[in-house]
Structure 1
Amino acid sequence: MRKIGLFGGTFDPPHYGHLIMAEQVYESLQLDEVWFIPTNHPPHKEDAKSNGILRKEMIEAAIQGHPAFRVNGIELNRTGKSYTIDTIRDLQREYPDTAFYFIIGGDMVEYLPKWHQIDELNEIVQFVGVNRPGHSMETAYNIEEVEMPLINISSTMIRDRVANDRSIRYLTTPEVKVIIEKSKLYQR
């Protein structure tokens, strides 16, 4: 049975924190692959600042060269809010001989009680929680914890820096930086 990590998010833009998080889970759980799943319309926050096609392109650019990282655009094809339970059900039907591990940061561990159909979701997928500064990993749900170096980078920080004409060097990959500049993303 293959072991696949699923890493959902807006990735607006993807950054080194995302990549380190995925790598830590990949190594710690000895996964076969990690699939980055950009969401179309996240239920827990405002829509992304850039469109799904560009976010998918940025993720592909960020993970190029990693033999076990992939992008799965399953949620970009949906209209309306995109719920994790629907994604998991669809992937389990399509890949029946695969064990899925849903990767979330500490901020999302705290938010789990508010997730759509969380009790059923907790029964059908293994959550993997990765520590994040300022967030607790304590929860009533079944979470496998993975430690990672504390890297305090966020997509919001990157968008704010671009909007204020500040450098994002060393916060995201050079390839993502080129896409942001070329597409004039996040500028005021």
Structure 2
Amino acid sequence: MIQRRYPLLGLFGGTFDPVHNGHIAIAQHCTIQYEMPSIQFIPNQNHHHKPDVQASASHRVNMLEIAIRKHKEWPINTMELSDSQPAYTVDSVKQLKHEFPQQALCFILSIEAFNGFNTWKNYREIIDHCHLIILGRFSHTIKLHTWQKQLLSDYSIDHPHELKNSMRGKILLDPYHPPAITSTDIRNNLHTNKPTIDINPAVRDYINTHDLYR
């Protein structure tokens, strides 16, 4: 009997404040590595996990549009910006699973984000609706928390192709190390008029035009 294989839909959330080349590298890696037909960029509100968001939602979306306009396979989903109430990942993946019932949703996050995953609303329930792809290597000097060990014991898989075998409920540790670029460093460089090479030149022009991060 031939096992059914589900197409993957990547979900890439973040404040994108501003979007930078590291974000683009992650999306390119996942598109190729996992043969993802599409990755949705999901800009957050002024996120409760990152309270230092500086640019408005409209500016952040505009910068995203500029940065990924050549990639029609990377649409921007503004679902988390449409409500004044706090948006939570668990609610977003529930809604997206309803909208894309025949695709296996893959939520992409970094090792750093995974270290705080237990602080997310109903974090275990998130895996009931999607897979997790965690980018980066666990350092041998970092001790895993009990909740992380339990999650990995329950849901971890070894091979990327296993993601397509089910609609949800798998965690894949991907040793890919994204470029060491942070939006915080870029904002600091812009604020102090230091060279900023890790963003799309058109995004940098937009930032200068609208006098952002000054």
Task: Using structure 1 for the length normalisation, give the TM-score.
Answer: 0.91
User: 1:42, 1:83 within 8 Å by CA — same for their partners in 2?
Assistant: no
**What SS class does the counterpart of residue 41 from structure 1 fall into?**
coil
Question: Quick one: which of 63, 70, 91 aligns to 1:58?
Answer: 63
Say if 2:190 is the partner of 1:168. Answer: no
- The equivalent residue for 1:151 is 179
Verify the 8 A CA contact 2:26 2:178 in the aligned structure 1: no
Contact 2:105 2:130 in 1 (8 A): yes
Structure 2 equivalent of residue 108 of structure 1: 113
1:88 corresponds, among 81, 86, 93, to 93
* Residue deviations 1:84-122 (CA, integer Å, cap 9, x gap): 011111111122222110000111111111111011112
Correspondence 1:59-74 to 2 at 5 A: 59-74=64-79
- 1:123-144 CA-to-partner distances (Å, cap 9, x unmatched) read 2210111117979695333421
1:3 maps to amino acid: L
1:186 matched to 2:213 = yes
Q: Which residue number corresponds to residue 7 of structure 2?
A: 2
1:116-131 matches, within 5 Å, as 116-131=121-136
CA distance in 1, matches of 2:105, 2:142: 23
Equivalence for 2:32 = 27
**Distance change (3 Å), C-alpha of 1:20 and 1:147:** farther
Instruction: Tell me, in whole angstroms, the C-alpha distance in 2 between the residues paired with 1:137 and 1:33.
Output: 34
Q: CA RMSD in A?
A: 2.1
Q: How does 1:11-50 map to 2 (within 5 A)?
A: 11-46=16-51, 48-50=53-55
Distance (Å, rounded) in 2 between the aligned partners of 1:168 and 1:133: 29
List alignment gaps of at least 5 residues for structure 2.
1-5, 156-170
Q: Contact 1:5 / 1:100 at 8 angstroms: preserved in 2?
A: yes
- Gapped runs of 5+ residues in structure 1? none
SS at match of 1:128: strand
Q: 1:113 to 1:5 in 2, by over 3 A?
A: same
Query: Alignment length, in residue pairs?
Result: 186
User: Is the radius of gyration larger for structure 1 or structure 2?
Assistant: 2
TM-score (norm 2): 0.80
How far residue 148 of structure 1 moved from its aligned partner, in angstroms, is 2.7
Cα distance per residue 1:137-165 (max 9 Å; x no partner): 95333421223345111000000001101
2:127 matches 1:99: no
Letter of the aligned partner of 2:203 in structure 1?
A: V
SS in 2 for 1:70: coil
Counterpart CA distance in 2 for 1:118 and 1:87 is 12
Whole-Å separation in 2 of the counterparts to 1:109 and 1:19: 20
